[in-house]
Structure 1
Amino acid sequence: MEANTLQIPSLEFPTPSAISPLADDVQAHSFKWAHEFRLESPEKLKRFNKGKFGWYAAREYPAASYEELCLVGDLITWLFTIDDKCDRFSSGGIEAGWLQDMLNGFISIMEDGQSSVDTPLNEALVNINQRFSRISSTYLYSLYAREMVSYFEECLWETEMQKGNYSPSIGEYLQWRPKTGFYIMFPLVSIFGKIHLPEEVYENELVKKIELMLNLTANLANDLHSLERERALKTKGLNLVLIYEQELNIPLEGAIQQISEEYHRNLQTLEEYRGSLPFWSREINAQLDLYIDGLYIAIKAYFDWALIDTERYKSKA
């Protein structure tokens, strides 16, 4: 099947769309911030405006303040800079050793709070972390830092996978794919929403299942949205459609259909999980509802940003 004939099913996510009226202002700020921290050469900076990362931030947290949205816009801009560098490596454009050293340096920053090497990306990450630490509780900041480290660890694993030209299994996908970014945005729901839940609620088994299912569901959608882009890479990345095609020995059309069906099953499972949450108290459960609603909005933001605001995952053919 040629890339320009792929039929990708339309996926709906069951939450109303929302966006802050500050989207354009946040976009302008994050473009300026990326320039100040020299994240790319001047001739490549225009891709940050094309990416509309400020709009993505404004969709994820539509009720957040300007300063909070600027922080998210900067974080997303930084994360997609890393994501694109990893994509360029899988296309053969970046040496693996350099990329691994860079990722290990980011882990050290998250663990130690400072950079031992002055690079634009390191300095920008320190800046983001310092701003988060000023507005977060110790616990919520620790959740954010933990998920950032998990993301870098996944990038390292994927680099090893690509170096060895290794195709991951379905089981490895389920182990590693949730670490690729959506989790990072979950603690921010509580930080910006001034949600104060006991740690035992955040760590509750069913709450964790809801977070994981939301993460996996969003990634299934991303795997479908990004399929044409990733098929064009020299080395295939962590895309479940391609993994199904190979491991299950089925046509690509069949793999696409299976992923779509799994996506819709996940939505039903999410509703069942949410309806089975334990009762702590009226106040705690009301706060928990706000938190989970915020997670849904953050996931919906991805759909609107990827399919309405940008052409990031559209075929170049």
Structure 2
Amino acid sequence: MPPNSFLLPDTLRNWPWKEPIVNPNYCDVHAESVQWLESFDKLTPGARKALFKGGFDIFCALVYPEASLYNLRSGCDLMHTFFALDDETDDLDGPRAKELCDIALHAVQNPDMSRPEGESVIGEITRQFWQRASANAPQAAQERFVKSWKLYLDSVVQQAQRRSASYLCTLDEYMTARRLNIGCDPSFVLLELSLDLDLPHEVMEHPAMVSVNSDIRDMTILWNPELKATQDLISYKKEVLTDSADYNIITVVMIECKTDLTGAVEWISNRFEELATHFLVTRKDILNHLDSCNSWGDAMDDQVKRYIDGLGQWIRGHDEWTFRSERYFGDHGIEVQEIRRIDIACP
């Protein structure tokens, strides 16, 4: 390969969830959530353009394929809340990002409380999203969302601090931070809601369940950007061209492992396959135990199986979205999906 090119590995070639599934409610929902976000009339022209190119509505249709119309809308609203928060914090330093994130946390903790006059629009966007999404959510799911939302916001502040200081992370630092600011944990709560599940904390905190969540989260980090921004393997070309690739795992691996672009991509691909294998082994162990005496009861066992399969479909849908949206490859996504080659032109 030329020095400014790399082959995108086909990391899901052996994944049991072979085909993406598009939620049949997509056509009814896809404009609603965008119109809701636009109704606040606070997006910059650049953010508005990125919003439509991002295709967050089709993302939700792919990762929440079984959601009802109501819950699919909630998923879309979450992605657009991520987007709005990212747009507002993108150029902020740590202290100013913390002010905004404190507002977003208070809004989720108090969804029925009116927001103060003159406050950033993020407060009302977040409040409306969670007030609607939590209306029919089981208590345990609500508690998990609030907890994961706080950790996510803390990581957004940390990222702003590091960005303003041009901080280059070690690989361990990078993965630790990204596990929070990728936004997977709040999104996985919406996955529960999309499947109409009511999973108690004792089930979700079981080590095996924590493990499958962790594997899918790390696979998402390695394969594609966080849900609210543009980073990592898929977006490396975009970030190189905009001179913003310092906080990208390819850059981190190249520096820490003292390798070139091809070597970094190979490292990421190998690690992704390790995670995929571990997920499938853990899934098999969980299902085998459910069939034995180590069961939570038939009804709860069925919910556990559906949740784990939902995670499997999540990563398949996530992969498909990267090529269907215009966010990374413009009109050439399907071509890139077929030939797998990424050419990085000179800035």
TM-score (norm 2): 0.81
Bigger shift: 212-221 or 178-187?
178-187
Bigger shift: 258-267 or 277-286?
277-286
Q: Deviations over 1:239-260 (max 9, x none)?
A: 2221111112111211111100
Aligned partners of 2:9, 2:240: CA distance in 1, in Å?
Answer: 17
Question: Partner letter of residue 128 of structure 2?
Answer: N
**Alpha carbons 1:158, 1:237 under 8 Å: kept:** no
Counterparts in 2 of 1:15-164, with a 5 A limit?
Answer: 15=17, 16-41=19-44, 45-86=48-89, 88-89=90-91, 94=92, 97-113=95-111, 114=113, 115-116=115-116, 118-164=119-165
Aligned partners of 2:50, 2:43: CA distance in 1, in Å?
Answer: 9
Aligned partners of 1:239, 1:304: CA distance in 2, in Å?
Answer: 21
Shift of the 131–207 alpha-carbon distance from structure 1 to 2, 3 Å rule, reads same
Aligned partners of 1:82, 1:2: CA distance in 2, in Å?
Answer: 38
Q: Please, which runs of 5 or more residues in structure 2 have no aligned partner?
A: 225-231, 330-342
Q: Which residue pairs with 2:285 in the alignment?
A: 276
Question: Partner letter of residue 66 of structure 1?
Answer: L
Question: Partner letter of residue 156 of structure 2?
Answer: C
Q: Which residue pairs with 2:203 in the alignment?
A: 201
Shift of the 276–132 alpha-carbon distance from structure 1 to 2, 3 Å rule, reads same
Q: Which residue pairs with 2:184 in the alignment?
A: 182
**Alpha carbons 1:110, 1:149 under 8 Å: kept:** no
Instruction: Tell me how many residue pairs correspond in the alignment.
Output: 311
Q: Which residue pairs with 1:212 in the alignment?
A: 214
Q: Deviations over 1:247-289 (max 9, x none)?
A: 1211121111110011111111111111222431333222210
Shift of the 84–188 alpha-carbon distance from structure 1 to 2, 3 Å rule, reads same
- Give the superposition deviation at 1:201: 0.9
**Alpha carbons 1:20, 1:59 under 8 Å: kept:** yes
Q: Which residue pairs with 2:340 in the alignment?
A: none
- Give the superposition deviation at 1:210: 0.7
Shift of the 141–300 alpha-carbon distance from structure 1 to 2, 3 Å rule, reads same
Q: For 2:314, which of 294, 298, 302 is the aligned residue?
A: 298
**Alpha carbons 2:100, 2:120 under 8 Å: kept:** no
Q: Which residue pairs with 2:332 in the alignment?
A: none
Q: Give the SS at the match of 1:17.
A: coil
Aligned partners of 1:205, 1:50: CA distance in 2, in Å?
Answer: 38
Bigger shift: 123-132 or 46-55?
46-55
Q: Which residue pairs with 1:247 in the alignment?
A: 256
**Alpha carbons 1:132, 1:141 under 8 Å: kept:** no
Question: Partner letter of residue 131 of structure 2?
Answer: Q
- Give the superposition deviation at 1:190: 2.1
Higher fraction of helix? 1
- Give the superposition deviation at 1:44: 5.1
Bigger shift: 165-174 or 207-216?
165-174
- Give the superposition deviation at 1:134: 0.7
**Alpha carbons 2:140, 2:200 under 8 Å: kept:** no
Question: Partner letter of residue 245 of structure 1?
Answer: M
Aligned partners of 1:156, 1:111: CA distance in 2, in Å?
Answer: 18
Question: Partner letter of residue 57 of structure 2?
Answer: G
**Alpha carbons 1:229, 1:313 under 8 Å: kept:** yes
Shift of the 149–68 alpha-carbon distance from structure 1 to 2, 3 Å rule, reads same
**Alpha carbons 2:103, 2:122 under 8 Å: kept:** no
- Give the superposition deviation at 1:60: 1.7
Q: Which residue pairs with 1:5 in the alignment?
A: 5
Q: Please, which runs of 5 or more residues in structure 1 have no aligned partner?
A: none
Aligned partners of 1:119, 1:5: CA distance in 2, in Å?
Answer: 42
- Give the superposition deviation at 1:231: 2.8
Question: Partner letter of residue 24 of structure 1?
Answer: C
Question: Partner letter of residue 31 of structure 1?
Answer: V
Bigger shift: 225-234 or 36-45?
36-45
- Give the superposition deviation at 1:119: 2.7
Aligned partners of 1:106, 1:204: CA distance in 2, in Å?
Answer: 29
Q: Give the SS at the match of 2:168.
A: coil
Q: Give the SS at the match of 1:6.
A: strand
Aligned partners of 2:235, 2:244: CA distance in 1, in Å?
Answer: 14
